[in-house]
Each structure stands twice: as C-alpha cells, then as structure tokens.
Structure 1
C-alpha cells in the first residue's frame, strides 16, 4: 500500500476529479450503444475509481455513486 499526504486544496481537487470521472463512466455504462467488452472494461475501472473515492467521501456523497454492477453489465 502506498500512502500519500494531501493538503486541503489538493483533497478538494482529488474529490472533484474522482467525482467527474465517476460521472463520465456512469454515462458510458448507461449508453446502450457500447460494446459488451468496452462496458466490462469501464465497469472494472469504475470499481477501482469508486474505491478510491470511497476513501475520501462521506457516506451520503458516496451513495450517489453506488450502483448495482449487475444492472450495468451488458
């Protein structure tokens, strides 16, 4: 495991970047035109980014991005 120290401004920026990335991936996962292999790759990446976001977000904020991955599979 790697540890990192961030100041307050950097934490806010990381929070913003992760939220925007999760939003983009949710849009892609809901796009029915996407190929199954691409959707699986995005879903895998979504799990990784979601776990990163879970370390800094409050439960209320986190619940916005919690999705049932069974419903987002092709």
Structure 2
C-alpha cells in the first residue's frame, strides 16, 4: 500500500483529473460501437478510478459517478 500527502490545491487538482477521467470513461462506456471486451476493460478501470475518487469526494459529488450495475450487466 502506498500513501500520499496532498495539500488542498493538490487535492483539488487530483479530484479534477479523476472527474475528467471518469467523464471520458462514461462516454466510452455509452458508445455501443466498442467491442464488448474493450467495454469490459474500461469498466474495470472505471471501478479503480471511482474508488480513488471516492477517497476525496463528498457523497454528493460521488453520486454523480455511481453506476447502475444491474443495467450494465444486461447490456
């Protein structure tokens, strides 16, 4: 396990970067043209980035990026 210490400015920047990455992956996951294996790999990466973001985000901010797993498994 690694640990990092961030000041306020760095924490905000990290949050910004993670949000942008999550936004991009959500866009990719909604693209039906992508192969199922590619979408599965993106979904796995999304879970990792989401857990990182969950450590610094408020519950309100985090709820924007929560995904409905039941919907995803059916498509």
With structure 1 as the length reference, what TM-score do the two structures score? Answer: 0.94
Query: How many residues end up aligned between the 2 structures?
Result: 74
Pairing 1:29-48 to 2, within 5 Å after superposition: 29-48=29-48
The 8 Å contact of residues 43 and 69 in structure 1, kept in 2 or not, is answered as no
Pairing 1:1-74 to 2, within 5 Å after superposition: 1-73=1-73, 74=75
SS in 1 for 2:50: helix
SS in 1 for 2:57: coil
Mapped partners of 2:18, 2:7: distance in 1 = 16
With structure 2 as the length reference, what TM-score do the two structures score? Answer: 0.93
Structure 2: tracts of 5 or more residues without a match = none
Mapped partners of 1:29, 1:62: distance in 2 = 18
Structure 1: tracts of 5 or more residues without a match = none
